[in-house]
Structure 1
Amino acid sequence: MSYDPQLTDLLSELPTQTFSGDVFRATPRSVDPLAPSYNGGRWASTNSCRVLYTSLERDGALAEVAFHWSQFTPPPSKPVTLHRLGVETERTLRLIYADLEQLDVEESLYHTTNYERTQSIGEAVEFLGFDGLMVPSARWDCEHLVIFPNQLSDTDIQLVVLEKEIVDWKDWIKDKSYKVGINGA
């Protein structure tokens, strides 16, 4: 796969940071929370690179599930498993809206499902060897940590499941008065 040299130059000039803390990941009950996705999404196209989508806030992870599962007809009726994970990264990029604008991602369109540019960014980030990408959530007022498992060093355990809970995502929507398509979605 070839990458836009202007994009990789811009990304490689940005400062990196480490991350050590808890993140949240909501999954169907039968899915391993540490299993990366190949199915595509905002930061990686289908079968391009392995990613683990997480949120720095519990509600951020649930808002993602609520948005995506609400798109199905009929929507899934089963609850989700919300996992709290312990994560350590060594070389993570943190992009705020101003950075995204510089990378040709319009803030006004960030909440849509047009992922072409953000997928190019995510794939370039992984190609450059970054192990994480911290970005604003498109669905909740928080940040997400997109983890690139292939880039995590093998020296220490870097991802661990700390706890899990079963959450009825439809009840969560009601409790939070979350309006799919309105709350930043």
Structure 2
Amino acid sequence: MSISSSQDERQSWFDRRLDEELKSTHHVGTRTIDMFIFPILHKGRYYMMSVSFKDGRFDVIDSSSASGTNKDLYDGAPQELNDLLSVYLDSKQQTLHAFRLASMKPKRMQMAWRNTTSTLDSAVFTMRHMESYTGKSCRNWDCGLQRRNSQQLLELRKRFMHNILLSEVNEQMQDIAYCVGQYDTQRLAQL
């Protein structure tokens, strides 16, 4: 979906994607969902946004510690998500949730492990955040990450790559396994 698409096209795409995601879960509609988590790719950097109706929170969870306002850092992404999700919930007869969401203001979480330099690891941070976030405040959330711990990020990167490569839904898994086998064969021959 392109940012140049019309609001109606973006809403239609958002509704279809959310419907598909909900069908793949055990939820019976939107009434049983307390929290929505959305991974975001913006300007080459990953982060996530979480909307928790149980806790009345709209959190922007970003591994970057760059300073600036939400508008400067995220353009209109939090407000657009708010608008898209509100319309979606209203279309599902979740008017109370849509109304509550309209009054939620996105807040950027100030986690101790945020990074000042790298955007390259933002995907690894975001995957870990998506695994561990349960709607708690920073004070009550320990995702196990430590600031400037490159070994920890390397281990997470390996684990995530392993899980992605060996996932049942990875349509390229057989081709990758073949290439790895070829590489190993060539490497052993050189030893």
**Higher strand content, 1 or 2:** 1
Shorter-chain TM band: under 0.3
| TM-score for both structures, normalised by structure 1 | 0.25
**Higher helix content, 1 or 2:** 2
| TM-score for both structures, normalised by structure 2 | 0.25
- Larger Rg, first or second structure (1 or 2): 2
Higher relative contact order (CA 8 A, sep 6+): 1
